[in-house]
Amino acid sequence: MMIDREQTEDFLEELGKSFVPNKYRPTLRLYLAKGGLYSVPYKAFTILFFLVVAGTAAIYFGFNIFSFISDNAPVVVGIYAFLFWTLCTTILTIVIMAGFYFYINMKIYGRMKDIELVLPDYLILVSTNLKGGLSFERSLWSSIKPEFGILADEMSYVSKRVMTGSDLSEALMEFSQKYDSPTLKRTLSIIVGELESGGKIASVLDQSIDILRKTKLIKDEMAANTLMFTIFIGAIVMVISPLLFALAFNLLSILINVMTQIAPALQQGTSSVPFKFEAGSLKVDDFKVFSSLALSIISIFASMILSIIQRGDIKSGVRYIPFFVAVAVLLYQFFLIVLGAVFTSMI
């Protein structure tokens, strides 16, 4: 039983590797390492492949695609079936890979923010160890604490590289290039430059710590100054927009009811009205679907705008998208019920 399990895992691993060309494997490994995955999950690629095939089969047989193409010649049926399976598996694969790419990118961004958050505290310990008489390398390794989280893991990886023969400056610069963080790159480049020139590292660390703290303070002040904009945009997206859409829905419902009642009289030819009413062309259910989609799109872009205003980038606002969308749609349903009751009592 153990042998069969090992053979199955080996099969899944090798089949997963066949999906990734050899020249792209190092790039993929480095990219996944940024997100904390230090080994490529080839077995997961194989499992996803079988899931895509199963999903395509479910769509093909579930929607009875064969019945739509069975009237053609056998060759044409085969071509249509081949095109369907090819396009469907390709689309599903692209969707899954896009979701995986988005997940890894958000994980990389989260790790970068965690590193920037604890970087000043880590450098304080390094500076303290340097002033206590330790060498720079020993100060780096001695300052690694579990509470530094991802930064501790990354510095442990740097220390392992140095112990296996890599240059310290090269290892630190490679670490700085691993994440798209101007703060990390600027700080480590200054430290490496001072290290190579043989200057006083402790004073440079103290200056870097002071700069990092002032930068964080400025960002916090900017976020506080934009609080009114945040409240204003949030109120528009989550309260005012659902209220206006709910009001428009009820007005549309009243208009359709009125048109339905007066349309027969106007169409008897007794009226000289130069236009024609067609109440059936308007559907309140279509407007409800449209308004829900519109609120969702507005919420998505509003969360991105707020993220840019407060943090200076879009990625930090992605986590707020579900909250904005959920609140806007739920309040829209609530306003529909309340305004529906109000207009019903008035009519």
Of 110, 138, 155, the one marking the end of a domain is: 110
| pLDDT score at 4 | 66
Distance CA(217)–CA(55), nearest Å, equals 50
Is there a single domain that holds both residue 115 and residue 105? Answer: no
Q: How confident is the model over 218-234, as pLDDT tens digits?
A: 877 776 777 788 888 88
Distance CA(253)–CA(263), nearest Å, equals 15
Distance CA(279)–CA(3), nearest Å, equals 71
Is there a single domain that holds both residue 87 and residue 163? Answer: no
Question: If DSSP codes are grouped into helix, strand and coil, which group holds residue 254?
Answer: helix
Is there a single domain that holds both residue 19 and residue 30? Answer: yes
Is there a single domain that holds both residue 233 and residue 340? Answer: yes
Is there a single domain that holds both residue 103 and residue 161? Answer: no
Sign of the four-CA dihedral 110, 113, 118, 119: positive
Cβ pair 129, 143 in contact under 8 A:
yes
Is there a single domain that holds both residue 231 and residue 167? Answer: no
Distance CA(134)–CA(128), nearest Å, equals 9
| pLDDT score at 1 | 46
Q: Could you tell me which residues come within 8 angstroms of residue 124 by beta carbon, excluding any fewer than 6 positions away? A: 209
| pLDDT score at 108 | 85
pTM listed for this prediction: 0.68
Q: Which amino acid is at 77?
A: V
Distance CA(344)–CA(161), nearest Å, equals 73
Of 80, 110, 140, the one marking the end of a domain is: 110
The region that residue 36 occupies, defined by phi over 0 for left and psi between -120 and 50 for alpha, beta otherwise, is: left
Identify how many contiguous H helices and E strands the chain contains and give both numbers: 14, 0
| pLDDT score at 166 | 79
Is there a single domain that holds both residue 61 and residue 41? Answer: yes
Distance CA(268)–CA(265), nearest Å, equals 6
Cβ pair 139, 129 in contact under 8 A:
yes
Is there a single domain that holds both residue 104 and residue 117? Answer: no
Query: Between helices 241-266 and 284-311, what is the axis angle to 10°?
Result: 160
Question: If DSSP codes are grouped into helix, strand and coil, which group holds residue 20?
Answer: coil
Paired tokens of 250: 């009820």
Is there a single domain that holds both residue 342 and residue 233? Answer: yes
- Given a cut of 50, the residues of the chain with pLDDT beneath it are 1-2
Of 76, 110, 144, the one marking the end of a domain is: 110
Is there a single domain that holds both residue 258 and residue 193? Answer: no
Is there a single domain that holds both residue 256 and residue 177? Answer: no
| pLDDT score at 2 | 46
| Closest to 120 measured CA to CA, from 238, 212, 215, 253 | 212
The number of domains in the chain is: 3
| pLDDT score at 224 | 73
Is there a single domain that holds both residue 20 and residue 100? Answer: yes
Domain that holds residue 158: 111-219
